[in-house]
Structure 1
Amino acid sequence: MPDVGGIASERLRSFIERIERLEEEKAALAADIRDVFAEAKGTGFDTKVMRQVIKLRKMESNDRQELETMLELYMAALGMIPSSGVDQNEAAE
């Protein structure tokens, strides 16, 4: 296939077809992941918590610690947990 309007048609087709194959693989992997979550749920595991654990495991240790600290601070500011030495007024600012 010749170039059309300065576009290498065969090269473009190759890229498009590769992307389409990868999208198909991605869909198959997503289905496999759903199956694993369904299996875990059937065994009694809480899949929402599992998803959160997976998200946390992907994070760097420092980022995870910062997130946990901020979460604790916000929850303490809202009275959801006992304050951990943080002044309630200071936390609300």
Structure 2
Amino acid sequence: MSDPGGVAADQLRAFVERIERLEEEKKVISDDIKDVYAEAKGNGFDVKILRKVISLRKKQPHEREEEEAVLDLYLQALGMAVQGNM
């Protein structure tokens, strides 16, 4: 089915409805993640560090090493380098 503007209205409506459903699912999942972080915080875990751990686990070891090397370089340039391992 085509409208005068050449838009397949049924196909467009199906895409919009799929996106709307996925957006709602994304909101539910996001709320669930917030609940887990709140639970972790309630059990004494530092949520900021927990988020960092989650971020690091998504990266390959070589990516983490490269990021840490650049961070160390920047900290040294600013006179903020930590002695020993970070």
TM-score (norm 1): 0.81
Matches within 5 A, 1:1-93: 2-4=1-3, 5-82=5-82
Listed as ranges, the gaps of 5+ residues in structure 2 are: none
Q: 1:35-89 deviations in whole A, cap 9, x for unaligned?
A: 00000000000000011111111112111100011111221222223567xxxxx
Question: C-alpha distance in 1, partners of 2:44/2:38?
Answer: 10
Return the letter of the residue paired with 2:53: V
Identity of counterpart residues, as a percentage? 54
Amino acid at match of 2:74: Y
Runs of 4 or more consecutive aligned structure 1 residues displaced over 4 Å after TM superposition: none
Secondary structure of 1:62 counterpart:
helix
For the 8 Å contact 1:56–1:64, the answer to whether it is kept is yes
Counting matched residue pairs gives 83
SS in 1 for 2:18: helix
Separation of aligned partners in 1, 2:83 and 2:41: 34
**Normalised TM-score (structure 2):** 0.87
Instruction: Please report the RMSD computed on the Cα atoms of aligned residues, expressed in angstroms.
Output: 1.5
Higher relative contact order (CA 8 A, sep 6+): 1
